[in-house]
């Protein structure tokens, strides 16, 4: 049976990539206890009656919103275009919108750092992340989407206003590798610690707990001789592995690639769609998934790495 080892390089905004074939990794870990949570319409209604949203929605009639019920922040809001003033760069225009329109939600512009600014045929997409006392807050995102004539049609404010933790770790970066590799029975080839500490919001029933973490990459070889590379988040104070994910996937005979796609209307459920026409480069030759998102690997010599790219005419 052929065996393929692939590292997925995917540049897709709003897509969560899944690839078939291969079993669950025994060393993966996650701090997410329930990834199928349902929206509470009662709680959403309560948050819509909060002063901050009432002020915004009174000023901008017809806008709709879905809140992060733990942080009480607007996860996604959308509506009729709000005209941006000025002629600056997209990043500068987005920051001006955040400063002028989202102050009521306690989004602090001085805590934001630009992550990306790109465009499609129709929209500008600008994303910022939150910075707490000089440290990146993981999973934070303030996003602004606006048209080419500078009309904001969507924003999201996934920031955390109740962080109160020390930024001094109890465990040094040199000592954290022992915690990151604990319990992994594979041959450890290398560990790399990101010296820049991060703040990780960990969800619980009614809010978030905040943990100071190191990011560690652990490279291994399993008993069959195939590589594994674990992106790992380790608590910088007690050494607990909060998250670990193998960035290298093994495939046998067939690959099916799908994406979890979110509707522009945040009240609509996400849908999973197989990706047709996905380019997969193997040993310098391009192959393409069929109409069902499937690529048969039969007859292709096993390799160590592949590169997946969406067709350039796909708009996200």
Mention every residue, 6+ apart, whose C-beta is less than 8 A from residue 145: 123, 124, 125, 126, 152, 153, 154, 155
Q: pLDDT at position 15, please?
A: 38
- Any bridge partners for residue 7, and if so which? 248
Tell me the average pLDDT of the chain: 85
**Percent of the chain beyond pLDDT 70?**
82
| pLDDT value of position 300 | 73
Q: Please, which pLDDT band fits residue 146 given cuts at 50, 70 and 90?
A: very high
- Which whole number is the average pLDDT over 226-249? 94
Q: Is the pLDDT of residue 207 over 50?
A: yes
Mean local confidence (pLDDT), 146-168: 96
Q: In whole angstroms, what is the distance from residue 77 CA to residue 255 CA?
A: 36
Calpha distance 16→29 (Å, rounded): 18
Burial (Cβ within 10 Å: 0-12, 13-18, ≥19) of residue 200: buried
Identify the H or E element spanning 45. Answer: helix 41-48
What tokens were used for 135? 């440290």
**pLDDT at residue 200 tops 60:** yes
pTM: predicted TM-score of the whole model, two decimal places: 0.80
The continuous run of DSSP H or E covering 30 comes out as none
């Amino acid at each position: 049976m052929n065996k393929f080892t692939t590292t997925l390089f995917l540049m897709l905004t709003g897509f969560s990539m899944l690839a078939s074939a291969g079993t669950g990794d025994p060393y993966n870990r996650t701090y997410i206890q329930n990834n199928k949570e349902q929206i509470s319409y009662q709680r959403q209604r309560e948050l819509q009656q909060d002063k901050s949203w009432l002020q915004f929605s009174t000023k901008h009639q017809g806008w709709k919103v879905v809140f992060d019920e733990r942080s009480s922040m607007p996860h996604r809001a959308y509506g009729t275009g709000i005209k941006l003033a000025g002629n600056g760069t997209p990043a500068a225009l987005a920051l001006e919108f955040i400063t002028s329109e989202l102050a009521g939600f306690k989004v602090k512009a001085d805590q934001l750092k630009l992550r990306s600014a790109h465009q499609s045929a129709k929209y500008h997409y600008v994303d910022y992340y939150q910075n707490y006392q000089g440290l990146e807050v993981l999973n934070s995102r303030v996003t602004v989407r606006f048209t080419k004539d500078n009309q904001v049609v969507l924003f999201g404010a996934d920031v955390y206003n109740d962080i109160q933790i020390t930024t001094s770790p109890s465990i040094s970066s040199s000592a954290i590798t022992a915690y990151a590799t604990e319990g992994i029975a594979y041959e450890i080839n290398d560990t790399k610690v990101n010296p820049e500490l991060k703040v990780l919001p960990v969800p619980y029933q009614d809010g978030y707990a905040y943990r100071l973490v190191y990011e560690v990459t652990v490279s291994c070889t399993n008993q069959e001789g195939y590589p594994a590379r674990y992106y790992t988040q380790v608590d910088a104070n007690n050494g607990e592995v909060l998250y670990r994910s193998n960035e290298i996937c093994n495939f046998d005979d067939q690959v099916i690639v799908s994406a979890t796609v979110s509707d522009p209307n945040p009240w609509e459920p996400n849908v999973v769609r197989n990706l047709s026409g996905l380019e997969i480069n193997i040993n310098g030759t391009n192959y393409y998934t069929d109409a069902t998102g499937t690529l048969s690997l039969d007859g292709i010599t096993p390799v160590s790495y592949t590169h997946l790219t969406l067709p350039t005419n796909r708009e996200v």
